[in-house]
Amino acid sequence: MFRRFLCSSLSCTHLQPPFFPPKPLISKIPNQTHIKSNIIRPFPTTPRLFSQMGDARRPSSIPIPTLEKADRSELLRALEASLGSAFSSDPLWPEPNPLIIVISGPSGVGKDAVIKKLRETRESLHFVVTATSRARRPNEVHGKDYFFVSKEEFLGMVERDELLEYALVYGDYKGIPKQQIREYMAKGYDIVLRVDIQGAETLRRILGNSAVFIFLMAESEAKLVERLIDRKTETKEALLVRIATAREEVKHVRNFDYVVVNAEGKLENAARLVESIIDAEKAKVRQRSAVI
Ligand SMILES: Nc1ncnc2c1ncn2[C@@H]1O[C@H](COP(=O)(O)OP(=O)(O)OP(=O)(O)O)[C@@H](O)[C@H]1O
């Protein structure tokens, strides 16, 4: 990257910096005088660089000392003079954009479980608390797991356009408050949205490729059903609906960017893979850029 940086700021078509000479030149460099002449020659053809420097820093006036004898700052000054500009301490690459990560998958696959693990390991994530009109389960906390609101309150939020997306899921409303996302993105947090497949499809239409979509999957249908049974939160009718829906939902995986298998007893691996996806997204040259 350093090499590319120098090239772009110094117009490589004219300049051969001493530390990156083309191969055939290496054998022809007998001493520093020769190196200097190689560097200096092109500068009169690059007036933009000269205009940034006083006359005192013209390349011809500062010879580059030998590496063995010179102290570091002296060497730096001479190199800067020879190259025609000061070495900048500014970051070579900007901070990555805050990311919106959509985590979805069939009911019972482990979305909440994976998110709980991520919460423990990753401070830079904000997990958006969804508003829902569903009744609170015994172990759930208002404002942490969901904002539990009445149907009337929920519809009021819809009317005021306060939700990024909402849906009727198994007879209950669920929706994502916009303000929370804006607030935390402004503070530099990455945003995690936990939605069902229907919600993910809507978000894909709204956000397109500006967000990253992760599909969480069990290793088999049998394991998924076992997990739902063991959770003991559903009636047998609700269980049937969830399983039938899950069969359909798996077909939607191709609308996602990544698939993560949350295998039995391997919750940590699944959470780690989600983290790796986030890391890779952060290192992308072409960053996603979401505006809510
Ligand atoms: N890798 C795993 N191995 C074993 N059990 C798991 C694993 N992941 C999750 N579970 C368990 O499976 C059950 C379902 O998980 P969870 O509630 O997180 O699913 P969910 O996708 O959030 O479901 P829903 O969409 O219905 O809310 C929970 O009891 C959870 O503890």
Q: Is 182 a catalytic residue?
A: no
Span 161-188, mean pLDDT? 93
Kindly indicate the confidence band of residue 69, based on its pLDDT and cuts at 50, 70 and 90. Answer: confident
Q: How confident is the model at residue 60 (pLDDT cuts 50, 70, 90)?
A: low
CATH number for region 100-129+183-282:
3.40.50.300
Q: What is the pLDDT of residues 83-124, one digit of tens each?
A: 999 999 999 999 999 999 999 999 889 999 999 999 999 999
What is the Cα gyration radius of the chain?
29
pLDDT digits (tens, 9 = 90+) for 132-156: 999 998 989 999 889 999 999 999 9
Spatial separation of the C-alpha atoms in residues 83 and 106, rounded to whole Å: 59
Domain regions of the chain by residue span? 2-83, 100-129+183-282
Nearest CA to ligand 1 atom 14: 108
- Do 65 and 75 meet the contact criterion of CB atoms below 8 Å apart? yes
- In order, the DSSP letters of the chain are -HHHHHHHHHTTTT---TTS--HHHHTT--SHHHHHHHHHTTGGG-HHHHHTS-GGG-GGGSPPPPTTTS-HHHHHHHHHHHHTSPPP-S-SSPPPPP-EEEEE-STTSSHHHHHHHHHHH-TTEEEPPEEE-SPPPTT--BTTTEEE--HHHHHHHHHTT-EEEEEEETTEEEEEEHHHHHHHHHTT-EEEEE--HHHHHHHHHHHGGGSEEEEEE-S-HHHHHHHHHHHT-S-HHHHHHHHHHHHHHGGGGGGSSEEEE--TT-HHHHHHHHHHHHHHHHT-SS------
Q: What is the pLDDT of residue 290?
A: 92
pTM value is 0.75
Which pLDDT belongs to residue 61?
65
Kindly give the interhelix angle for 111-121 and 267-282, rounded to the nearest 10 degrees.
Answer: 60
Sign of dihedral through CA atoms 251, 255, 260, 262? negative
Return the higher-pLDDT residue of 56 and 133: 133
Protein residue with least CA distance to atom 29, ligand 1 = 231
Q: What is the pLDDT of residue 169?
A: 80
Residue bearing the bigger pLDDT, 35 or 105: 105
Which of 231, 247, 254, 288 does the annotation list as catalytic?
231
Which atom from ligand 1 is nearest to the alpha carbon of 227? 12
d(CA 56, CA 35) in angstroms, rounded, equals 20
Tens of pLDDT, residue by residue over 243-266, are 999 999 999 999 999 999 999 999
Q: Does 4 participate in catalysis according to the annotation?
A: no
Annotated active-site residue in 57, 137, 205, 227: 137
Which atom in ligand 1 lies closest to the alpha carbon of residue 105?
21
Residue 128 has pLDDT above 50, yes or no: yes
Instruction: Compute the distance between CA of residue 114 and CA of residue 117 in angstroms, rounded to an integer.
Output: 5
> Ligand 1 in contact with 227 (CB < 6 A)?
yes
Atom of ligand 1 nearest to the CA of 115: 18
